[in-house]
Amino acid sequence: MFADKESFKQAYLTKISETEGIILEESSPWDKYKTLVILLKEKMGSYRALTRNCPARSKEVYYFSMEFLIGKLLHYYLVNMGIEEIVREGLQDLGINLDELLRQEADPGLGNGGLGRLAACFLDSMAFWGISGHGNGIRFKYGLFEQKIRNGFQTEVADNWLKNGYPWETPKLDKSVVVKFKGNVRVENAEGKWMFYHEDFEPVLAVPYDVPIMSYDNSVNINNLRLWSAEPLSNELDLDSFNRGDFEQAVSLKSEVEAISYILYPDDSSRSGRELRLKQEYFFVAAGLGSIIRSYKKRNRALADFPRWVAVHINDTHPVLCIPELMRILIDEEGLGWDQAWNITVNSMSFTNHTIMPEAMEKWPIDLFRGLLPRIYMIVEEIDRRFKERTARIYPGDGDLVRRTQIIKDGQISMANLAVIGSSSVNGVAALHTEILKNEVFKDYYRIFGYKFNNKTNGVNHRRFLLAANSDLSGLITEAIGPGWKKNAEELHKLLSVRDDRSFLEKLARVKYLNKCRLAERVRETQGIVLDPLSLFDVQVKRIHAYKRQLLNLLKIMELYNRLQRDPGAVEGSHTFIFAGKAAPGYHYAKTVIKLINTLAAKINKDAGAKDKLKVVFLENFNVTLGELIYPAADVSEQISTASKEASGTGNMKFMLNGAVTIGTLDGANVEIQEAVGDENMFIFGLRAREVLDYIRRGGYKSLDQYYTSPDLKLCVDQLVNGFFETAGEEFRVIFDSLLLYNDEFFVLKDFDSYLETYQRLQACYADKEQWQKMSLVNIAEAGIFSSDRTIQEYAEQIWKIPRVC
């Protein structure tokens, strides 16, 4: 990339005058940041031109995802290129502080949480393995809202991340695609062949913006994240309206079109059912497939061979329209017959399910769907008709099976059903989740298409969340076991050899302490709250959701506080409870939980009697950048969802990589974490998934029983509404009611005792420093299997059928 510091400086100075037309002294921090990005991007572009992927892996993977939470790129890419030091020192010679430039970068909030972050980790690992694997998504003008806390409440501020421009992206106007909405379909029979003509449609221009994806030490393999922006087909005004003086009409079409890529829906795991959302889904699907087919045909390959050269991956149901859209292209535009088109389509498509929560299962009303996508609707109907016919033929007499598995019923189109029927692979994201898919959610399909179902336990990019985010720990690990773990996370196992090395454990503790100081410093700067880095940092950071049970954590803290009131000696050690996470703006319960966290924090933090024992903080605006600061600073990772509800979780893996010890339920990938580290290195409590599912199916749980049999718990629950929070009034009634009036859907009260007992056990372990350090070390050592490199290797071999050669 750069031979040395001097050649970097030279290139940088040239670039700044070239791109900004100014000399260094006149440039702003933004100019300086942008120049560095453009310099690196050009270098990457020239590598891309020289070499393309591993030849044996020439099958292209297109990862379709509504969300990509890529985080900031500059620092991460400097680490991957191995030039952070050269650049830092070179800039310093020029009087520039690299850290100031790094702060200029926007963290693109193009996702809600785990699902979008997973997509970003996968892009990295595909690049790492030399797979030609590209992301396909939407360039939302506004990402997920920025969260501000005002008087303890969440308020939302628009995330105008593009306001200064985004220098990593390159618009490719010549690669634009026209996407057609609404209109009519004219059907003609030409010499026995049915022809379909989509007419009077509303065209939208999809313009691609490409972001280069590079991984560690692999600069010759640059992949692409293609994000689509919606623009009017003609950038000219509606001149007739304009000339009539109707200015509003003249610009209205433009804004209606641009609305498609205007903003990301801020709902995590709940469907919105709005027309705009369906427009977004079809928009990036049609644009992405349009450009894939165009480049495929340029290579003069036969369409029949499409699945051999191209894999299309559908991340959750948002891009499921890939299935009927590819059918449409093959039939209407390429003239193939149904059966051939269907073979090609199914063999190209694979689908990942991310949730079993019924409210998150995407369904569209027929009228809305048909009005917006008339030709696609016809195709979905035909897929459904043929599938029903086939099912009835294979399972004669089982009319119920046909009814349960059809795509269109009760006036709605089920996107999950379409996904399973139209893909060759259906995977869950953790072993437990996949079992629940096979035995519950998709059990009928499992009977019909057993061969399609498989598990791919999620992973995280260990280079971002350990190598780059926790450089002190990375340095320590490399000192102990060499650098091999960066390219092969399984090598972290070697750390087990220093498990009994007192001096290594001391160093490990020292690094954790420094990371806690770093986080404490940030909290002091931003919130004026002083944290004690010697206290236990107990962290729960993730979206705020009833099933994730931030409330259970809060009741625990209230109980500890109550104990302290009764007996100042009752709480051992000193605890800092750290929360962060966004609530969907329309999710009243979740927003009330945020208010409760802040209200409890205010009460405890101002109580002199609790000062050395308990402290609670809520950090504003959780995103990838904040995560990179928090995960390395955690002693304890809270993964306490209601068993069966969290499909996998990936936060749990990021914490583990950074040496936090998990307290959690046997849910999602926690089950596999337990298998990896053993019961002695993790704290498991609460109902098992089977028990939860049985209660849900058969009933029998009464939250009032829990409430009346445990006086300590009853007090905590009562405190939500009895004036304990002096200024709260009826504010927390919804939470109180969720527990008692609505019978505690997420088994918070049921798991309370078990959680507290387990927390006390954890606290005793924490007091034994050496034992704790060993537990921490084992967690890091066993985290290798949770690298997304492992996950992607499995996807490549088993789903996309790409051999492992390079």
Ligand X SMILES: *Cc1c(COP(=O)(O)O)cnc(C)c1O
Separation between Cα atoms, residue 4 and residue 607, nearest integer Å: 56
Q: Which of 596, 624, 684, 720 binds ligand X (CB under 6 A)?
A: 624
User: Which residue out of 352, 650, 758, 791 is catalytically annotated?
Assistant: 650
Annotated catalytic residue within 542, 545, 591, 603: 542
CB of 792 to ligand X, least distance (A): 17
650 carries an active-site annotation? yes
**By C-beta, is 117 or 433 nearer to ligand X?**
117
Q: Which stretch binds ligand X (CB under 6 A): 158-166, 286-294, 523-531, 649-657?
A: 649-657
Nearer residue to ligand X within complex by CB, 325 or 667? 667
Q: Smaller CB distance to ligand X: residue 113 or 133?
A: 113
Stretch near ligand X under the rule CB under 6 A, chosen from 112-120, 136-144, 241-249, 525-533: 112-120
Query: What would the DSSP string read from start to end of 583-651?
Result: --TT-HHHHHHHHHHHHHHHHHHT-GGGTTTEEEEEESS--HHHHHHHGGG-SEEEE-PPTTS-S--SH
Least distance (Å) between residue 640 CB and ligand X: 10
Q: Which tokens hold the place of 232?
A: 């009017």
CB of 154 to ligand X, least distance (A): 15
In terms of CB distance, is 648 or 793 closer to ligand X?
648
For the question of residue 354 being annotated catalytic, the response is yes
Q: Does residue 113 touch ligand X according to CB under 6 A?
A: yes
* Shortest Cβ 547–ligand X spacing (Å): 10
CA 773 to chain centre: 30
Provide the 3-class DSSP secondary structure of residue 149.
strand
Strand pairing category for 453-455 and 425-428: parallel
Tell me the site size for ligand X, rule CB under 6 A.
Answer: 13
Q: Least separation, in Å, of the C-beta of 563 and ligand X? A: 28
Name residues whose C-beta falls within 8 Å of residue 72's C-beta, 6 or more positions apart in sequence.
102, 105, 106, 107, 624, 625
101 conformational bin, left if phi > 0, alpha if psi -120 to 50, beta if neither:
alpha
For ligand X, the closer CB: 429 or 756: 429
With 0-12 CB in 10 A as exposed, 13-18 as middle and 19+ as buried, what is 208?
buried
Which residue of this chain has its Cβ atom nearest to ligand X in the complex?
651
354 binds ligand X (CB under 6 A): no
Q: In this complex, which beta carbon is closest to ligand X, that of residue 9 or of residue 542?
A: 542
**Catalytic residue (one of 59, 75, 226, 354):** 354
Owner of token pair 């034992």: 771
What is the phi/psi pair of residue 315, to 5°? -90, 105
Q: Identify which of 549, 591, 617, 579 has the alpha carbon closest to the alpha carbon of residue 153.
A: 591
- Is 113 in contact with 123 (CB distance < 8 Å)? no
The CB-of-757 to ligand X minimum distance in angstroms stands at: 23
CB of 137 vs ligand X, minimal distance in Å = 16
User: Which CB atom, from 703 or from 787, has the smaller least distance to ligand X?
Assistant: 787
650 near ligand X (CB under 6 A): yes
Q: Which one of the listed residues 134, 543, 545, 549 is annotated catalytic?
A: 543
Binding mask 651-670 for ligand X (x = CB under 6 A): x--x----------------
Give the nearest distance from C-beta 624 to ligand X in angstroms: 5
Name the token pair of 430.
Answer: 């953790």
Closest CA to 751 of 675, 641, 661, 674: 641
Residue 299 burial (CB < 10 Å; 0-12/13-18/19+)?
A: exposed
Q: Which residue has the tokens 């609505």?
A: 742
What is the dihedral sign for C-alpha 630, 636, 642, 645? positive
Told to check if 317 binds ligand X by CB under 6 A, we report no
Query: Is 117 an interacting residue with respect to ligand X (CB under 6 A)?
Result: yes
How many residues in total does the chain contain?
806
The owner of tokens 């996107």 is 415
> Does residue 109 touch ligand X according to CB under 6 A?
no
CB of 359 to ligand X, least distance (A): 17
Listed residue (687, 711, 712) closest to 700, CA to CA: 687
Among 344-352, 398-406, 409-417, 619-627, the segment contacting ligand X (CB under 6 A): 619-627
Q: Which one of residues 134, 279, 464, 542 is an interface residue with ligand X (CB under 6 A)?
A: 542
Q: Does 548 participate in catalysis according to the annotation? A: yes
CA distance 408 to 616: 49
Residue 15: active-site member: no
C-alpha to C-alpha distance for 797 and 806, rounded to whole angstroms: 13
- Please tell me the distance from the alpha carbon of residue 193 to that of residue 195, in angstroms, as a whole number: 6
Residue-wise DSSP of 206-273: EEEEEEEE--TT-TT--EEEEEEEEE-SS-S--HHHHHHT-HHHHHHHHHHHHGGGTB----SS----
Interface of this chain with ligand X, residues 505 to 534, rule: CB under 6 A: none
Judged by CB under 6 A, which stretch of 270-278, 323-331, 399-407, 616-624 contacts ligand X? 616-624
Q: Which residues touch 224 (CB under 8 Å, ≥6 apart)? A: 134, 135, 210, 211, 212, 213
Task: Determine phi and psi for 626, rounding to 5 degrees.
Answer: -70, -35
Among 135, 152, 632, 649, interactor with ligand X by CB under 6 A: 649
244 classed as catalytic: no
C-beta of 117 vs 512, nearer to ligand X? 117
Are 153 and 263 a contacting pair, CB within 8 Å?
no
Piece of 124-132, 312-320, 426-434, 620-628 that binds ligand X (CB under 6 A) = 620-628
Our finding on whether 452 is near ligand X (CB under 6 A) is no
Give the pairing of strands 177-181 and 202-213.
antiparallel
Strands 636-639 and 536-541: parallel
- Tell me the chain's radius of gyration from C-alpha atoms: 27
Of the pair 79, 204, the CB lying nearest ligand X is at 79
Given the complex with ligand X, which of 113 and 319 has the nearer CB atom?
A: 113
CA distance 538 to 634: 6
By CB under 6 A, tell whether 553 contacts ligand X: no
Helices (H), 645-747: 651-657, 670-677, 689-698, 703-709, 711-719, 733-739
Told to judge if 582 belongs to the known catalytic residues of this protein, a careful annotator would answer no
Instruction: Work out how close the CB of 199 gets to ligand X at its nearest, in angstroms, rounded to a whole number.
Output: 44
Rounded to whole angstroms, how far apart are CA atoms 523 and 576? Answer: 12
The residue from 9, 48, 462, 548 that is catalytic is 548
x-or-dash string of contact with ligand X, 52-91, rule CB under 6 A: -----------------x----------------------
Residues 287-316 that bind ligand X (CB under 6 A): none
Does residue 114 interact with ligand X by CB under 6 A?
Answer: yes
Catalytic residue among 516, 595, 654, 750: 654
Least separation, in Å, of the C-beta of 69 and ligand X? Answer: 6
Helices (H), 264-414: 275-298, 306-309, 322-328, 338-348, 366-372, 374-394, 399-405
CB of 147 to ligand X, least distance (A): 12
Helix (H) or strand (E) holding 766: helix 748-767
Active-site residue set: 354, 542-543, 548, 650, 654
Given the rule CB under 6 A, which residues bind ligand X? 69, 113-114, 117, 542, 622-624, 627, 649-651, 654
